Homo-oligomer: A and B are copies of this chain.
Amino acid sequence: MIDPPFLPAGDDAAPDPAAFTALADRLRALGHPARLAVLHTLARENRCVCGEIVRELPLAQSTVSQHLKVLGEAGLIRSRAEGARTAYCLDHAALAALRAEIHAVFDLLLRQGANEPAAES
């Protein structure tokens, strides 16, 4: 169902640098507490108008709108104009795909059990 574009070939195939870039872009979109809070709100409310999110965060409307734009450009949320308002909702498919990619990366990083070459710091 989900198509994992990360490392489609063998395990240790040299990962396409573009794949790293595409994944990093979305991880960076997640890498801000306000955006995590926005996603959490959208998950709880299922569908939010911008003003509702503004009311939940200690940020100006323009700042929230900017964060929504970042999340939209990362493809993690979708928007729909409804009269004077704009409704936002999670893009479940995109989030599921991202989860799969992240899962694959962590599998790659943690594959062979904990080797501990006596690291100190």
Contact = CB atoms under 8 A, between A and B. Distances in A.
A58 to B, nearest CB: 9
A82 to B, nearest CB: 10
Specify how many copies of this chain sit in the oligomer. 2
Contact of A93 (B27, B37, B42, B114): B114
Best-surrounded residue of A15, A31, A39, A98 (most CB of chain B within 10 A): A31
Given A24-B30, A28-B31, A36-B105, A111 B17 contact: no
Contacts of A114: 92-93
A109 B80 contact: no
Contact of A108 (B40, B89, B119): B40
Interface of A: 12, 15, 17, 20-21, 23-25, 27-33, 35-37, 39-40, 42-44, 46-47, 72, 78-80, 87, 89-93, 95-96, 98-99, 102-103, 105-106, 108-112, 114-121
Given A12-B44, A93-B114, 18 more contacts: A20-B40, A24-B30, A24-B33, A27-B31, A31-B31, A46-B112, A46-B115, A78-B121, A79-B121, A80-B118, A80-B119, A89-B115, A90-B110, A92-B115, A95-B106, A99-B102, A99-B103, A102-B102
